[in-house]
Amino acid sequence: MAIKVENLTKQFILNKRDGWRSIKTEVLAVDSINFSVNSGQSLALIGPNGAGKSTTIKMLTGILHPSAGQAKVLGLTPWRERTRLAYQIGAVFGQRSQLWYHLPPEDTFELLSRIYNLDRNQYKEQRNLLIERFDLGPFLKTPVRKLSLGQRMRAEIAASLLHKPRLLFLDEPTIGVDIVARQELRDLIREWNKQDGVTVLITSHDAGDIEHVADRVIVINHGHIVLDDNLSNMRQRYLSSKILSARFHGEHKTVDLHGAKVLQSANYSIEVEIDTSVVTTEKVIKHILELGTIADISIEDPPLEEIIAHIYSQPVTNNDSSTHT
Amino acid sequence: MFFAKILNYIRLAIAYVRLNWLSHIEYRNAFYIEAAGMFLNNVIWLVFWVYFFKAFPTVPTWTSSDVITLWAISAAGWGIAFVIFGNCRFLANIISTGQLDAWMLYPRHLLSHLILGKMKPSAFGDMVFGFAMYLFFVRPDFPHLALFCILTVSVAILFTGFSIVAGSLSFFLGNAESLALHLEFAMICFCTYPAPIFEGRIRWLLYTVLPALFVSYYPIEALRNLSIEQALYAFAGSLAFASIAVYVFYFGLKRYESGNLTVMRG
C-alpha cells in the first residue's frame, strides 16, 4: 500500500478584519477524508480551486500537520517522519521549480545528488538513464532560463526521479505547456508509472492529463471526497448524453425526435446531443438514417471537461464515497 | 557518526557555494561590481573612522590598529556568513510568502539546509575586504592571523544566528521583512563601534538583544592579548545565540502557513 488516509482533517484559522477588530474564523480545508492507493497505481486528485487537494498533498508530503486523522505514506507518517519520507518521494510542482534558473539542468542534478546523498555510481547511472529516456541531451548544458517550458518541465520531472522515488507527486505538471510538449510529458509520466512501477499522484485542471495519466480519479470539493472511481466508471456514472455527428451525401431533413437536441446543422452535416435517459442511441441512429443518405456517422462521449464540471457542480454531502483501492 | 554528518554537511555546503558562485558569475560584471562596490564602501567607512580616532581620541585605550581589526573581523565574519548562509537574509520573505514548502520536500534538516540556498554577492566584497585590511594594515604575526581566522568563524556564526532570529520574526508578525533588515543594519552598526564607549544598560542590550559585543569586544580583546580565554567567550556567546536562533525558528515553524507562490531557484 503506497498511501492510506483515514479521517484526515485540516482546519485553518483565518483572521478577518472588521474595522479595528480582528475576527477569527475557522475554515475546514479538508474534512475527514478517507482513501488508499496501491503501489504502482496512478491516481488523479482533482477538484476546483480551493477544494482542498493542495492541502491534502501538503499533508501527505509532511509539509502541513493535520488537525485530526491519520495518514501513512509508504509506511511512514509524513509530518512526523518527513525527512525519511523525502528520500522515497519525488515532487513536481508546475508552478515551482527546483531547477536553478541561471544554470544548466546538469548543475541542479549534481546538487540534488548531494542533497539526497546518492552513491556516485548509482547517481551517474540513473542520471544517464533519465537523460536518455527524457531526451535531455540536447539541452543538458543550456541554462534553464533559455529552455522552453516543455523542455524545462521534462528536466524538472527527471530531476524529481534522480533519487529513484517510489511515489511521485505531480501538482499541475503541464500548466502553461503547449499541446505537443504536454502530450510528451504525459507519455513520460505514464511510461515511468507502468515500466518502473512508480506510484503517481497527479493533480491537474487539464482533463487530458487525467485521461492519459490516471487509472483512477478522486474528486475533492469543499474538503470532501465527492467521487472515487476509475475513469471509465466515472464516465458511465455521470454520462447521460452522447454526441452524434453525421455527414450526408446531399441535403438532409430536419431532426424531429424527443431527446435528440440539434447542436449544429449545415446543408450536408448535423450534430446532435442525445439524452440517453429519454431516448436510446439506437433509436436516434435509426431516425438519422431516415433523414438522408449517410456518408459518415460517429458517436462520442462529451469531453471529460464537461463531466468534471458536472461533478464539481453537484451539491456537497457529508458522506465520502466508499474507499476504493 | 557525528563527524560523518558534519563532513556530509560540509560537502553539501560546498556544492551550494559552487552552484551559487556559478549562478552569480553568469552575470559576472554585475557580480564583480557589487562585490567591489561593497569593498569600496567598507574602505571609505574605515578611512573615516581611522581619521576620526586620530582627531578625537575618545577611547584612550584604542589605537587605529584596533579600529582596523574591528572592521576587518566584522566584515570578514559577515562575508563568510552570507557567502555560505546567504539565504538567512531572505528568511523573512521566504516565511511570509510560504516558500518554506519547497524546502520541506528535501531529506535534510530544514533550517541548516535552507540557509545554504543563496549567496549575497556583496558578501564576497566584505569577506575579501576583512582579510585584506587585516593582512595589509595590521600586519599580524602567524598566531594573530590564525586567531583572527578562527574568530571570523565565531563572528560568522553570530551573524548567521542573528539573521535567523530576525527573519523568524515573520512567523510571529506575518511579514517582518523590513523589520529584519533594520535589525540587521542595527546589529552591524553596533558591531563597528568600539565596545568601551558603551556602558550600563546599553552594554546589557549589546550582550542580549543586539549581541554586538561578541564581535566588538571579546574577539578584539582576544586578538589584542592573544587570549584563548577571551576567544572562548566569543565562541560561547556566538554558539549560545545560534542555539537560540534554532529554537526560535523551530518554535515559529509551528505557526507556519504554507503558500502557493510561483518561484524559480537560483
Segment B126-172, tens digit of pLDDT:
999 999 999 998 999 999 999 999 999 999 999 999 999 999 999 99
Query: Do A247 and A223 share a domain, yes or no?
Result: no
For cell 585605550, name the residue: B61
Least Cα distance to B224 among B52, B68, B74, B78 occurs for B68
Query: Do A182 and A270 share a domain, yes or no?
Result: no
Query: Do A171 and A269 share a domain, yes or no?
Result: no
Interface of A with B in 261-300 (CB under 8 A): none
| Chain B, nearest residue to A99 by Cα | B265
End-to-end CA distance of chain B: 32
| Chain B, nearest residue to A65 by Cα | B254
Residue A200 bridge partners (DSSP): A42, A168
Residue A41, SS3 per DSSP: coil
Beta strands A68-73 and A3-18 are: antiparallel
Run of H or E including A28: strand A21-37
Query: What is the spatial distance between Cα A96 and Cα B17, in angstroms, rounded to a whole number?
Result: 22
Give the Cβ contact number of residue A187 at 10 Å: 12
Q: Which among B107, B260, B261 has CB closest to A54?
A: B260
Cell (9 digits) for B233: 567567550
The predicted complex's ipTM stands at 0.86
Give yes or no for B174 touching A (CB within 8 A): no
Least Cα distance to A106 among A142, A135, A133 occurs for A142
Residue A9 resides in a domain: yes
pLDDT for the residue A320: 44
What CATH code is carried by the domain that includes residue A214? Answer: 3.40.50.300
Residue A247: which domain range? 240-300
- Domain limit, last residue, from A216, A236, A256: A236
- How large is the C-alpha radius of gyration of chain A? 24
Cα A98 to chain centroid distance, Å, stands at: 20
Query: Do A80 and A221 share a domain, yes or no?
Result: yes
Run of H or E including B159: helix B142-173
Q: Which among B106, B113, B263 has CB closest to A96?
A: B263
Phi/psi of residue A226, each to 5°? -105, -15
Residue A311 resides in a domain: no
Residue A325 resides in a domain: no
Give yes or no for A175 touching B (CB within 8 A): no
Query: Do A10 and A110 share a domain, yes or no?
Result: yes
Q: Which among B11, B12, B266 has CB closest to A101?
A: B266
**Contact check, Cβ <8 Å, A143/B109:** no
Beta strands in A62-108 (DSSP E): 68-73, 89-93, 96-100
Least Cα distance to B91 among B18, B171, B192 occurs for B171
Provide the residue type at A323 as one letter.
T
Q: Which among B16, B19, B107 has CB closest to A83?
A: B107
Q: Which among B19, B107, B258 has CB closest to A116?
A: B107
pLDDT for the residue B61: 78
pLDDT for the residue A325: 35
Give yes or no for A152 touching B (CB within 8 A): no
Residue A321 resides in a domain: no
Mean pLDDT of B71-91: 95
pLDDT for the residue A319: 45
Query: Do A181 and A279 share a domain, yes or no?
Result: no
Query: Do A163 and A291 share a domain, yes or no?
Result: no
Cell (9 digits) for A114: 548531494
Query: What is the spatial distance between Cα B88 and Cα B177, in angstroms, rounded to a whole number?
Result: 11
Phi/psi of residue A99, each to 5°? -80, 145
Residue A295, SS3 per DSSP: strand
Query: Do A196 and A289 share a domain, yes or no?
Result: no
DSSP per position, B223-266? HHHT-HHHHHHHHHHHHHHHHHHHHHHHHHHTT-------EEE-
Residue A324 resides in a domain: no
Query: Do A248 and A220 share a domain, yes or no?
Result: no
Query: Do A47 and A15 share a domain, yes or no?
Result: yes
| Interface test with chain B among A107, A108, A145, A201, by most B beta carbons within 10 Å | A107
Rounded to the nearest 5 percent, the helix, strand and coil shares of chain B are 80, 0, 20
Print pLDDT tens along chain A (325 aa). 899 999 999 988 877 777 778 788 888 899 999 999 999 999 999 888 888 888 899 999 998 899 999 999 999 999 999 999 999 999 988 778 889 999 999 999 999 999 999 999 999 999 999 999 889 999 999 999 999 988 999 999 999 999 999 999 998 888 888 888 888 889 999 999 998 899 999 998 888 888 889 989 998 888 889 889 888 787 777 767 788 999 999 888 888 899 899 988 998 999 998 888 888 889 999 999 999 999 999 988 777 777 777 777 776 654 444 333 3
Indicate the DSSP class of residue B86.
Answer: G
Residue A305 resides in a domain: no
Query: What is the spatial distance between Cα A119 and Cα B28, in angstroms, rounded to a whole number?
Result: 33
Residue A309 resides in a domain: no
Query: Do A169 and A82 share a domain, yes or no?
Result: yes
- Size of chain B, expressed as the number of residues it contains: 266
Give the max Cα distance, chain B: 57
| Chain A, nearest residue to B21 by Cα | A103
Residue A313 resides in a domain: no
Residue A93 bridge partners (DSSP): A96, A171
Contact A141, A107 (CB under 8 A): no
Provide the residue type at A199 as one letter.
T
Query: Do A165 and A262 share a domain, yes or no?
Result: no
Give yes or no for B265 touching A (CB within 8 A): yes
Work out how many domains chain A is built from and give that number: 2
pLDDT for the residue A47: 86
- Domain limit, last residue, from A220, A236, A252: A236
Burial class (CB in 10 A: 0-12, 13-18, 19+), A306: middle
